[in-house]
Amino acid sequence: MSKKEKQFLSEFIELYRSFPCLWKIKSKRYSDRNAKQQAYESMIEKMREFDVGATKETVVKKINSLRTAYRRELKKVIDSERSSAGEEDVYVLHLWYFDLLNFIRDQEIPRKTQTNVEDEDEESELHQFAAERDEATSESGLFSPRESPSISPPSTPHSLTLGPSTSTQTTRTMKRLLDKCDDILHVACGR
């Protein structure tokens, strides 16, 4: 890459940095179409210094290309840091504009995800709790083993639940159901 191309890319990246509406997801202006359009117009003007026929698509492709290369290099850096390699084994950057694009680092690191699949340990703990309660109820003579109430978790498939479904919600639901059963038993036994 020539010195002129490096100079152009440095200026292009700095211009991109000056428009958070194009790269900063949490920016109020990120969803402002007019602000983005104005920013792209400025980026197109800059790109035309290097490529006379530049369009918005050209600018978007260039930005995506730069970000992809940055993301790839960032992954190598993070993997090297995680491996706790010795100083001689630490990854050496090969991307000359890595530091120039480092302002997007917090945009590129994925957030931790949350799962809506129930934790099997917690679910089995609920089953065990319900089984112990059933056993205690049948031993007290209130119900015969055939009539012993059993409580199981809701059978609604996760794909049909509305809103987020977490194991904590299921635990709360199960505890509420068990508390209701307790109340019914107290009323039935006159306790």
**Is the per-residue pLDDT at 11 higher than 70?**
yes
Distance CA 191, CA 185 (A): 8
DSSP 8-state secondary structure symbol assigned to residue 191:
-
pLDDT of residue 115: 62
pTM (two decimals): 0.56
**Is the per-residue pLDDT at 165 higher than 80?**
no
pLDDT of residue 149: 47
Distance CA 87, CA 81 (A): 10
Write down the mean pLDDT value for the chain: 76
> Where is pLDDT greater, at 87 or 184?
184
Q: Residue 91's pLDDT band (boundaries 50, 70, 90)?
A: confident
**Is the per-residue pLDDT at 125 higher than 60?**
no
Distance CA 103, CA 43 (A): 18
**Is the per-residue pLDDT at 44 higher than 60?**
yes
Give mean pLDDT, residues 84-104.
Answer: 83
